[in-house]
Amino acid sequence: MTEAAEKTPRSLDKRLAFRLPADVADLWKATAEAAGLSLSDWLRAQVRVEGADIVVTRKPTPQKMPVSREHVPVDPALVRAVANAGNNLNQIARHLNSGESLTPAAILVVLTEAEQRLQEILDQCTSNS
């Protein structure tokens, strides 16, 4: 392999999965952590292809990146009201899927009542803010 080819970054577009004993997996994870690398980077660093080292990204794997979420306090009464509305909608769906015949007008009445109740909950929530 030429010197220029060795400096060209290799594309990391293929994924490989394999199984190994739990104790070996634990050892590899601990070794990677001690080296300050993700497990993927540590494994890539252990492999040479055509005499050249594989690219080490030094980036955390996307699924392991911490997700920061803002905590928003929610009124427990609001949670209960929305949960009750959801339960009612589930009961309506279960009834409709049971095969019992309902007229379109009856379905519309029930859904309209559910929509009005959810609107009341929303209005109550936004007026208290």
- Reported as a single tens digit per residue, the pLDDT across 77-104 is 888 888 888 888 888 788 778 877 778 8
The overall average pLDDT reported for the chain is: 77
- Reported as a single tens digit per residue, the pLDDT across 37-81 is 888 888 878 877 766 766 666 665 555 566 677 877 878 888 888
Residue 93 to residues 33, 96, 102, 108, 113, Cα–Cα distance (Å) = 50, 5, 12, 13, 15
Beta bridge partners of 53: 48
Angle subtended at Cα 53 by Cα 48 and Cα 58, rounded to the nearest 5 degrees: 120
- Reported as a single tens digit per residue, the pLDDT across 17-42 is 889 999 999 999 999 888 888 888 88
pTM of the model: 0.38
Beta bridge partners of 52: 49
**Crossing angle of the two packed helices 104-128 and 76-97, in degrees rounded to 10:** 170
Annotate 43-56 with b (16+ C-beta within 10 A) or e (fewer).
Answer: ebeeeeeeeeeeee
Q: What is the mean pLDDT of residues 93-122?
A: 82
Element (H, E) at 21: none
User: How far is 100 from 81, CA to CA, in rounded Å?
Assistant: 28
